[in-house]
Chains A and B, each alone.
Chain A
C-alpha cells in the first residue's frame, strides 16, 4: 500500500538556508546542499526547496543549488518560489528537480499550469496554495480564501474552487498551506486539508502548523492528506524524521521505514 510521505521544506535565501537551524550533528546547517543530503539520509520521502531570494541573481543561484543537490540525493525534490514562466520551470527541471511548485504566478495566469503540464507532464507541476479562513459568503462558499504574494494579497478566490480548477488545468499535486496555522506549531488546519482532499483526485500535501507528531497524524488521517510538509519540527531537531515515522507507524499510518 502507498506510504504517506514526510517532506522537509528548506527555505533558501541568497543560496543559504534560513532560520537558525540546529542540528545534533556537526554540519554546515546553512548549506542547502548539505541539508538536503542530510534529510535524504535521514529518511525524507521528498524534499522541498523554497527560494525566498528577492534579488535579480536569484535564478543563477538556485539553478546552481539544484544541480548540486541532484548530484547528492536520489529521491524526488521540488523547487518553489519565484517560478513564473515556462522557462523558469524548464531551467529548474533540467537542472535536476523532479517537480516545480507554482503559487502566485498560477493565480495571476492559470494557463501556466496547463502549459507546464503539457510541456513537462502533470507529475512535475505542484500547485502551491496559501489559504486563509474567512467568513463563508457567496464568493467564498468554502470559507477559505486564496492569498498570494507570500500571503499578503487577498484574491477573493475560493480555495475549493481554485483547487478544482487547477486540477482540471493539469496540476499534479497541491501543496496546501494554511496561513492561519503557519508558524504556530499548534497543528495543521485539518478541516482545510480534508475539504480540499475530498474535492480533488490529486495528492494533497498538508503544510503549516506542525509542532508535534500528533499534528502530522491528524493531517494524514482525519485531514486525508497524502503527505505532510515539515519545517521547524525537524529543523530544530524536536523530532527526527525517523522518530516521526516510527510513531506514525505504531499508530497505524503506512509510512516508508527503510531507506
Chain B
C-alpha cells in the first residue's frame, strides 16, 4: 500500500486526491506499523518544523520513518516533508530527522530578482525547476514546466550530490533532493497541475534500486 503520513501537519485530502487522480490507490495514516509495512511512503506537510517534529515523535513516526528509510522503502517528501529530512532547521531551531546531512535555512531579507524587483518572503507561486541530471521521477516533465511553491525556508544539503533540481528566487536553492530511495520536493505536487500529477505517477511507478 502507498501511504500518506499524517502527523497533524496540514490537510492531506488534496494529496490523496492528487495521488488517486494520477492513477494509484493510497491511504492516509498516522499508524507507525502501517508506515513500516508500506510499499511506498508519501511524506507531505505544511506548518512549522518544531511542531512537526514534536508530532512525529509523539506518534512514534520519527522512528518508523527512519526504519523505512534505511530499509529502502521509496519515500516522497513534499514541502515541509522535504525540509525535516535534514539534520536541523533554523525554524524554531529544530533538530530534525537527519536522513540527509545538511540544514534548512530561511530566505535572507533583501532578495532581488535579476530585473531589480524586491522579492517577498514567503516564496509563493509558480516557479521552474532546473534538473541537474535525469531521474525516473522527472519522466514527462518538460523544461518550461512550473510548480506551485509556498515556503519561507529552503534546504541546504552538506553535499551537492543530493541536489537533483534547483530553483531561482533571488538565490538558487535546491528544490528537488534525491538520496537513494528518498525523493523530496520543496513545491506542492498536489497543487502543481499536470506536472505535479505526473511526478506523483512517476513516484508511484518508480522501482528504486535501493530496496
Contacts and interface: CB of A to CB of B under 8 A. Distances in A.
Contact of B150 (A5, A40, A123, A256): A123
A203 interface: yes
Nearest to A198: B118
B17 A3 contact: no
A74 B188 CA distance: 10
A80 B193 CA distance: 22
Interface string A1-20: 11111000000000000000
Contacts of B142: 258
B47 A98 contact: no
B127 A1 contact: yes
A45 interface: yes
B147 to A, nearest CB: 10
Nearest to B128: A1
Interface residues of B, number: 39
Nearest to A252: B115
B21 interface: yes
B169 A74 contact: no
B190 A2 contact: no
Contacts of B150: 123
B83 to A, nearest CB: 14
Nearest to B119: A2
Contacts of B178: none
B125 interface: yes
Given A123-B122, A201-B120, A70 B14 contact: yes
> Contact residue range for chain A?
20 to 34
A5 B122 contact: no
Contact of A96 (B17, B123, B124): B17
Interface string B139-168: 000101110111000000000000000001
Nearest to B147: A256
B194 interface: yes
Contacts of B128: 1
A3 to B, nearest CB: 4
Contacts of A102: none
Contact of A45 (B114, B126, B144, B149): B126
Contacts of B23: none
Contacts of A257: 144
A227 B124 CA distance: 11
A173 interface: yes
Closest 8 CB pairs of A and B: A3-B126, A123-B150, A256-B146, A256-B126, A258-B144, A76-B191, A2-B125, A201-B120
